[in-house]
């Protein structure tokens, strides 16, 4: 999928799952080397990962916004946030390992965990299904440095 400045928000930031964007330029030799690897990843992970390319010469504002100073830059997005970045031409097995890790991390963030992780402080919270609104379990959480730890009460 070709990403543009006008399609970036919809196709990447509001995508329903994880997205890998290849920031590239036609004059970039390493970009041409990594292109087939990105295409292979798109085929291999179809249905689990959206893969797109963004030409930094044609859409410099997006590249600048995300601090892309070297290309190729392969940036993983999920829920509108950058989750990981790979810079430079990397072998297929290296990129596949990063894709697997990003997919593992995003799958681990189920609806209940996403809801609780938006809360701050300590206390109790009744988590429900984000899709149908059904009531859920009563959980307690604490606030460590990065993400809440959950224990059932």
DSSP string, 102-131: HHHHHHHS-HHHHHHHT--SSEEEE---TT
Strand partners, 19: 50, 77
Enzyme catalytic residues: 28, 31
Closest by CA position to 95, among listed 29, 60, 64, 51: 51
- With beta carbons less than 8 A apart as the criterion, state whether 18 and 45 touch: no
Find the DSSP H helices in 28-141.
29-44, 60-65, 92-108, 111-117
First to last CA, the chain: 45
């Amino acid at each position: 999928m070709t990403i543009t400045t006008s399609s970036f928000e919809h196709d990447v930031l509001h995508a329903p799952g994880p997205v890998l964007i290849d920031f590239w330029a036609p004059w970039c030799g390493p970009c041409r080397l990594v292109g087939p690897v990105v295409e292979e990843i798109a085929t291999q992970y179809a249905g689990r990962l959206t893969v797109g390319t963004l030409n930094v010469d044609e859409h410099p504002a997006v590249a600048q916004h995300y601090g892309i100073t070297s290309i190729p830059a392969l940036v993983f997005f999920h829920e509108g946030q950058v989750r990981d970045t790979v810079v430079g031409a990397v072998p297929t097995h290296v990129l596949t390992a990063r894709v697997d890790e990003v997919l593992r991390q995003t799958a681990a963030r189920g609806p209940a965990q996403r809801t609780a992780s938006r809360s701050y402080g300590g206390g109790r919270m009744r988590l429900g299904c984000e899709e149908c609104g059904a009531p859920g379990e009563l959980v307690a959480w604490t606030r460590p440095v990065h993400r809440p730890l959950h224990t059932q009460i």
